[in-house]
Amino acid sequence: MSLEEYNKKRDFKKTSEPKGKKKDLSEGKLKFVVQRHAASHLHYDFRLEMDGVLKSWAIPKGPSLNPEDRRLAIEVEDHPLSYKSFEGTIPEGNYGAGEVEIWDNGYYEAAEKTAGKTEDLVLRHEFHRGSIKFILHGKKLKGEFAMIKMRSKDENAWLLIKHKDQFATDSYNAEDNINKDSKVSKLVKTKHKKEKPSKSSSEEDQSPSKK
């Protein structure tokens, strides 16, 4: 889903979010960011730099470090690279109105390297095949993960799964790892009391595609 869609949804006279422009392929390490976003529903926006943009998914329950969890991740429109540092208020009446904060960020790399191919190319290929394997180097999220496109259901549904490694844990809830005094947390407390991601992940257990 393109940056065009990103621009169409937003009025940049009213929101302080960055305008969607494609960057040249990045020098150096590929970045990732996870933003915690209190909009009509609280969710986490998971974004991976690829092809000069941020490929983006909305994860209702947030990422997990527990390999048993399969977190539903809904692919949304590409965001501009500059979105990786966006935090703040999206005013009422605008797309995604509410509060955004950076929950985690850092760089990431392809878990499987291919000789003669840039990492960006490897990841783009995996993205189009619907199975991305990568290593996150964040403050909260570390180690190997997979983002797998689901075979059934709607075509934007993926699953984020932690692989077993030294960073995996037995249980994990993103909402236990937040700044409780932030604007996002305050908005969640006042306005979205009933919409906190639940600790149970069982209803999201689905078979990932075997592609």
Please state the closest distance from residue 37 (CB atom) to Mn ion, in A: 4
Indicate the residue among 87 and 119 with the shorter CB distance to Mn ion. 87
9/151 with CB nearer Mn ion:
9
36 forms part of the interface with Mn ion (CB under 5 A):
no
- Cα 55–chain centre separation: 8
d(CA 77, CA 205): 25
Q: Please identify which residue in the block is written with the tokens 């797309």.
A: 95
With binding defined as CB under 5 A, does residue 99 bind Mn ion? Answer: no
d(Cα 43, Cα 35) in Å, to the nearest integer? 8
Residue nearest to Mn ion (CB): 37
Choices 31-39, 107-115, 135-143, 144-152; region in contact with Mn ion by CB under 5 A: 31-39
**Residue 36: CB minimum distance to Mn ion, A:** 9
37 binds Mn ion (CB under 5 A): yes
Taking the CA atoms of residue 10, residue 14, residue 15 and residue 18 in that order, the dihedral angle to the nearest 10 degrees is: 70
Nearer to Mn ion by C-beta: 75 or 126? 75
Contact 35, 18 (CB under 8 A): no
CB of 56 to Mn ion, least distance (A): 8
Q: Which of 34, 132 has the CB closer to Mn ion?
A: 34
Please tell me what DSSP assigns to residue 112.
S
User: Between 40 and 79, how does the x/- string for binding to Mn ion read (CB under 5 A)?
Assistant: -----x----------------------------------
What is the C-alpha separation between 18 and 7, in angstroms, rounded? 9
* 204 SS3 class: helix
State both tokens at 77: 């429109």
Residues lying near Mn ion in the complex (CB under 5 A): 37, 45
